[in-house]
Structure 1
Amino acid sequence: MKMRGGMRSIPLLALLSLAAGAQAPAAAQPEIQRPPGTAQAVGAVHTVRQIPEACVRIEGRFTGQADAPYAMQLVRTDARCQPRAVMREATRVTPGEDGWRLNDRIRIPSAACPGQQAVVEVWRRPVEQPLARDGQGQVRVYLGEARQQADAGKLASLPAFAVDMRVQGTPCR
């Protein structure tokens, strides 16, 4: 709708949603949006997510035990894989601080207990890595220069990931 002076009318609902989004914490919405996963049976090992930069796959399974209903582990994808990112302990990460962003929230429902689900959060801390290009427009890393930087303690920091898991919902008996 056109108004005087060339200004456009913005619906009140849109303004309210913008204001609510500005007040919400940065970690509330993950960078990757996905629907809940497929319901998993007790004891069925499944891949929750792969993090190729860190050469890691997150595996999980429902245990059927009341005290620890879901178990999760990090598995190296390939012995020859060279990680371009590091994995950090989730307990040592302060979400939303020091550059940590909520990258992904994965919900895995239990097939045996429909009211219960595992929620896996993947946190990511990106690192700006300026890449100098040579005269041919290529980024090149020379072994001698890299060794000198390593010896001098001037290696660039790597991006990092952390994984946290919790179980939500009512436990089944």
Structure 2
Amino acid sequence: MRQSVALPLLAACLLVAAPVHAAESAPEIQRAAAAPQAVGVVHSLRQIPEACARLEGAFTGDTAQPYRYAPVRTSPQCQPRARFVDFDKAKPSTATGWKLNDVIRVPSASCPSQQAVVRVWRKPGSAALPPADGQGQTRIYLQEAKQQAATAAQAPSLTLFAAKLDVEGKTCP
């Protein structure tokens, strides 16, 4: 009789104690935590070549905002095939077609109990590359693209990326 009561009680306790992010599905990209980073050292978190962007971050040493990150354009010549959008405006969730793409964990070198966690979300677009021509190249011709855009009921959408920063763990004095 005790087991029949203890098992549901244990299961209920585990559900209550589960972290908020446990409800997320597994990210598309699996990676280990990054190397610990010192305060003030800017480091690359991830490249997103299709958006011509790189995520950079740094621990600040400020208790109010211990970590900061920003998307940085990789090259002025790069032609993006995806867009990086503001997380708060996009409000990514699996219910709206977004996929958890990556979870990047960066421990602090000066405060081992603290880590920055950047969750990158991706919403696949409907745009596709045209078929390869006789030379094996995919080419988009300006006039043809303008005609297709003018006659298409709905232009193809680009893939979207959004990222959210959380700082987890205890703050060090």
TM-score for the superposition, normalised by structure 1: 0.78
CA offset at residue 141 of structure 1? 2.3
Matches within 5 A, 1:22-171: 25=23, 27-91=24-88, 92-130=90-128, 133=131, 136=134, 139-152=138-151, 154-171=154-171
CA offset at residue 148 of structure 1? 1.9
Residues in 2 aligned to 1:70 and 1:138: alpha-carbon distance in whole angstroms:
43
> 2:19: which partner in 1?
none
What is the RMSD computed on CA atoms of the aligned residues? 2.1
CA offset at residue 88 of structure 1? 1.4
Structure 1 range deviating more: 64-73 or 145-154: 145-154
**CA deviation map 1:90-109 (0-9, x unaligned):** 11223212210000000000
Residues in 1 aligned to 2:76 and 2:128: alpha-carbon distance in whole angstroms:
28
CA 1:140 to 1:119, structure 2 compared with 1: closer, same or farther past 3 Å? same
CA 1:62 to 1:51, structure 2 compared with 1: closer, same or farther past 3 Å? same
Residues in 1 aligned to 2:133 and 2:49: alpha-carbon distance in whole angstroms:
30
**CA deviation map 1:32-81 (0-9, x unaligned):** 11110000000000001010000001000000011000011111000010
Structure number with the higher helix fraction is 2
Residues in 1 aligned to 2:103 and 2:42: alpha-carbon distance in whole angstroms:
19
CA 1:168 to 1:127, structure 2 compared with 1: closer, same or farther past 3 Å? same
CA offset at residue 151 of structure 1? 3.8
> 1:15: which partner in 2?
none
Opposite residue 119 of structure 1, the aligned amino acid is V
CA offset at residue 152 of structure 1? 4.7
**CA deviation map 1:8-40 (0-9, x unaligned):** xxxxxxxxxxxxxxxx85x33101111100000
Residues in 2 aligned to 1:146 and 1:104: alpha-carbon distance in whole angstroms:
33
Residues in 1 aligned to 2:41 and 2:130: alpha-carbon distance in whole angstroms:
47
**CA deviation map 1:89-129 (0-9, x unaligned):** 11122321221000000000000000000000110111244
Quick one: percent identity of the two aligned structures? 50
CA offset at residue 140 of structure 1? 3.9
Opposite residue 87 of structure 1, the aligned amino acid is F
Residues in 2 aligned to 1:33 and 1:135: alpha-carbon distance in whole angstroms:
35
Question: Which stretches in structure 2 are left out of the alignment for 5+ residues?
Answer: 1-21
